[in-house]
């Protein structure tokens, strides 16, 4: 799960080097300490501290801080001048964020090129491009709802999503303040220092305009955004997690505190002190209580958001013995100062570091890398971040800041685009005979494949004619994906008939199941064309053919769309009465099953009984419809991502083979389903011998890459299996 970084602060005035680190007037040490708490929760949870399962709540803390500080800055300018200069505002943002982030982006691209598997480099270069222009949150949201990306390794740049959310919020917020200024008659003059602003200018006074319209506007923004967040977390958790629209209320909460700052300064000292400790407890508790199964943000985010807002709000009164007594200590202040740079560096270091060192990730290594990233952060702060935002030549004129920021962005984006065109080369050996041709020419296709599998166990080098290229295997998909016939999570009906095989066929054949049915499409389509059958492709992501409600781990809720879609397909089969229905599904259940009573069951014998009974329901309905069901048991799974393993070990492919005892998901349940189906007279096809010898399942057979990712067949391998599948489908 991704989390965010330290937020923006008003740029400090240029000072001599000897005093550059001294806090400016009005500095809030408690806020600096909050930054330290937030970034530490984030980094330690990413490093592998098991107790901090909810460390991602650092995102909420930083959003609230950012909303408060930026709004304070804008209100001070509004009080002083009667307007807001967008040029100055965005120039400050550019020089605050872009120099340090550009250095991290370039360093991450270089690290990914040298040390990460080449299968991952092109996606990383795309992430760098989207991160440069603050759009990576939408890319990650879209990737998050794509089932085939569910097992993909995390991007070393995915943490940039939070910067994108903030900047998208700040495209609109200054405009709202401008509108507010336009409709209010304001008195000109210098501003009265806000009671708890982080940056004040002594000796100037002015009369602030009424803040009620702003409070009401922010309350409306926060309320609508929170409602959308709750609703979308229930329907599409990835979009809720990464969306600016579902996170705006968190920034608005900080902004509300800024607008009410002068009133909050009058809180009684004892009450204010108690509130700061209560807020800190809320933030800390959420980091320990939440985990990856928590539907987040939604209403769960109220705990860290309100906790953060309370710390800042009560801190406006400057209470003695409040949380600032802890947050203001030197360790918190030092880490808070480096929080933005530490956040930027920690994730790329944690992702690329183990590969660079040739070691498997572990808690000890994670903590060491986290500490190393803090050293990088300190250097980045002193050499890049702080000098860039205080450079007098740039800060003297806002347009220079904008021009410099634009130049940095264009150069970084150009490097990302150029880098994406130079994927690291793959070392290969000689070309070998085409596996598909050898199977097609064989008198006994199954016997020939067994021979090829045995030969594959001794194959060491990647053949020059390997298909598909493992560096781009993630895009190797049957046509049903491009045709929108394999449905994503949110959909219950396709936008076209999705009929393949022989268009003029007189009979019908159905392919039914999840993505582990969809990867059989090349073989099923070939069989249908050869038999003169129209093939109705009916597959949906993470939606098994068994008639049971499953829990969707990505959506973090019962997968009702699956149940609705499956019911409509079974009803279609009952109407169409096809000759054959080929069924296949992932042997797992994507996070558990949901009982008829609405209880989530993710372990125990009750889950297996419910699973077997659900398969019986589906098979019985197909039989009653007059069709012949053919149950294709699940295929074996590789050892992680097969393409990544192949490009990592191009001269030792044996390391990518998986032992047979480890290759099948839920083997006992798999056999129970098969036994129950055979007892009903259903044709059951176990493809084990099409992938494995008696001992191992190789990742490369001849010139074919068996799996395109961590569980799905490549289209070339599936097409090669067509003659074998045909022998088991009744004519």
The string of DSSP letters for 321-382 reads TSTHHHHTSHHHHHHHHTHHHHHHHHHHHHHHHHHHHT----HHHHHHHHHHHHHHHHHHII
Whether the full predicted model's pTM is greater than 0.85, yes or no, is: yes
Contacts of 136 (CB under 8 A, 6+ apart): 127, 130, 157, 158, 160, 161, 164
β-partners of residue 550 are 593
pLDDT at site 151: 67
Positions in the chain whose pLDDT score sits under 50: 1-23, 185-195, 197-207
pLDDT at site 118: 93
For residue 508, what is the enclosing H or E element? strand 507-513
Residue 687's nearest CA partner among 494, 450, 498, 465 is: 450
What distance in Å separates the CA atoms of residue 338 and residue 377, rounded to the nearest whole number?
A: 6
Contacts of 671 (CB under 8 A, 6+ apart): none
For residue 644, what is the enclosing H or E element? helix 642-648
pLDDT at site 146: 63
Distances (CA, A) of 530 to 22, 505, 524, 538: 79, 10, 10, 20
What distance in Å separates the CA atoms of residue 270 and residue 68, rounded to the nearest whole number?
A: 23
pLDDT at site 150: 61
Alpha carbons within 13 angstroms on the beta-carbon side of residue 347 total: 25
CB 503 within 8 A of CB 534: yes
Pairing of strands 486-487, 533-540: parallel
Residue 711's nearest CA partner among 558, 557, 590, 602 is: 590
Using CA of residue 185, residue 191, residue 195, residue 198, what is the dihedral sign? positive
pLDDT at site 149: 62
Cα 90 to the chain's mean position, in Å? 28
pLDDT at site 604: 79
pLDDT at site 153: 85
Residue-wise pLDDT for 249-283, tens only, equals: 999 999 999 999 989 999 999 999 999 999 999 99
Domains for the chain: give ranges and CATH numbers.
17-420 (no CATH), 435-693+706-726 (3.40.50.1110)
Residue 512's nearest CA partner among 583, 572, 461 is: 583
Give me 163's structure tokens: 């910067």
Contacts of 616 (CB under 8 A, 6+ apart): 676, 677, 680
Residue 701's nearest CA partner among 523, 457, 443 is: 457
Residue with tokens 């582990």: 516
CA-angle at 93, arms to 88 and 99, nearest 5°? 125
CB 378 within 8 A of CB 21: no
């Amino acid at each position: 799960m991704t989390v965010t970084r330290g937020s923006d602060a008003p740029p400090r005035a240029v000072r001599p080097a000897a005093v550059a680190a001294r806090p400016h007037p009005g500095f809030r040490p408690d806020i600096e300490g909050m930054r330290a708490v937030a970034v530490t929760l984030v980094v330690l949870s990413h490093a592998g501290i098991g107790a901090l399962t909810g460390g991602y709540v650092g995102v909420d803390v930083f959003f609230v801080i950012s909303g408060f500080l930026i709004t304070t800055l804008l209100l001070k300018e509004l009080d002083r001048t009667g307007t807001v200069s967008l040029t100055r505002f965005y120039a400050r943002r550019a020089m605050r964020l872009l120099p340090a982030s550009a250095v991290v982006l370039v360093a991450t691209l270089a690290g990914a090129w040298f040390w990460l598997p080449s299968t991952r480099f092109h996606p990383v270069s795309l992430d760098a491009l989207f991160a440069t222009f603050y759009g990576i949150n939408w890319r990650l949201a879209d990737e998050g709802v794509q089932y085939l990306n569910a097992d993909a390794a995390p991007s070393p740049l995915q943490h940039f999503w939070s910067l994108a959310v903030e900047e998208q919020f700040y495209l609109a917020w200054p405009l709202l303040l401008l509108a507010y200024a336009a409709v209010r008659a304001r008195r000109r003059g210098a501003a009265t220092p806000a009671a708890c602003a982080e940056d004040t200018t002594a000796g100037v006074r002015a009369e602030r305009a009424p803040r009620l319209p702003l409070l009401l506007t922010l309350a409306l923004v926060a309320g609508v955004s929170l409602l959308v967040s709750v609703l979308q977390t229930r329907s599409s958790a990835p979009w809720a997690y990464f969306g600016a629209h579902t996170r705006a209320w968190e920034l608005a909460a900080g902004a509300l505190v800024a607008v009410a700052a002068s009133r909050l300064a009058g809180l009684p000292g004892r009450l204010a002190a108690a509130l700061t400790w209560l807020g800190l407890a809320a933030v800390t508790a959420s980091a320990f209580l939440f985990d990856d199964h928590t539907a987040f943000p939604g209403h769960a985010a109220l705990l860290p958001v309100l906790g953060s807002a309370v710390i800042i709000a009560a801190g406006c009164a400057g209470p003695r013995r409040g949380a600032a007594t802890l947050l203001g200590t030197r360790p918190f202040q030092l880490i808070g100062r480096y929080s933005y740079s530490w956040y930027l560096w920690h994730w790329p270091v944690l992702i690329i570091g183990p590969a660079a060192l040739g070691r498997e990730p572990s808690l000890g290594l994670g903590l060491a890398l986290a500490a190393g990233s803090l050293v990088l952060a300190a250097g980045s702060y002193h050499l890049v971040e702080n000098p860039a935002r205080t450079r007098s030549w740039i800060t003297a004129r806002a347009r220079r800041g904008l021009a410099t920021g634009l130049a940095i962005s264009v150069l970084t984006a150009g490097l990302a685009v150029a880098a994406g065109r130079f994927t690291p080369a793959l070392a290969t050996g000689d070309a070998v005979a085409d596996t598909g041709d050898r199977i097609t020419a064989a008198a006994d296709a199954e016997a020939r494949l067994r021979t090829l599998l045995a030969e594959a166990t001794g194959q060491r080098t990647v053949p020059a004619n390997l298909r598909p290229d493992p560096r781009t295997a993630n895009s190797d998909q049957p046509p049903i994906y491009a045709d929108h016939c394999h449905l994503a999570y949110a959909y219950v009906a396709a936008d076209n008939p999705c009929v393949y095989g022989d268009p003029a066929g007189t009979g019908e054949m159905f392919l039914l199941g999840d993505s582990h049915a969809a990867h059989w499409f090349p073989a099923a389509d070939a069989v249908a064309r050869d038999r003169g059958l129209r093939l109705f492709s009916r597959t949906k992501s993470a939606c098994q053919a068994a008639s049971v409600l499953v829990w969707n781990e990505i959506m973090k809720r019962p997968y009702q769309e699956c149940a609705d879609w499956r019911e409509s397909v079974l009803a279609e089969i009952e109407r169409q009465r096809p000759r054959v229905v080929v069924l296949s599904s992932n042997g797992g259940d994507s996070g558990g099953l949901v009982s008829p009573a609405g209880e989530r069951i993710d372990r125990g014998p009750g889950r297996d009984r419910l699973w077997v009974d659900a398969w019986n329901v589906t098979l019985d309905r197909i039989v009653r419809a007059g069709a012949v069901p053919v149950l294709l048991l699940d295929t074996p799974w590789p050892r992680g991502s097969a393409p990544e393993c192949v490009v990592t070990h191009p001269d030792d492919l044996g390391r990518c083979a998986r032992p047979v005892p480890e290759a099948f998901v839920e083997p006992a349940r798999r056999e129970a389903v098969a036994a129950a189906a055979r007892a009903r007279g259903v044709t059951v096809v176990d493809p084990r011998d099409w992938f494995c010898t008696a001992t191992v399942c190789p990742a490369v057979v001849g010139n074919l890459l068996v799996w395109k990712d961590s569980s799905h067949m490549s289209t070339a391998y599936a097409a090669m299996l067509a003659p074998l599948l045909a022998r088991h489908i009744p004519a």
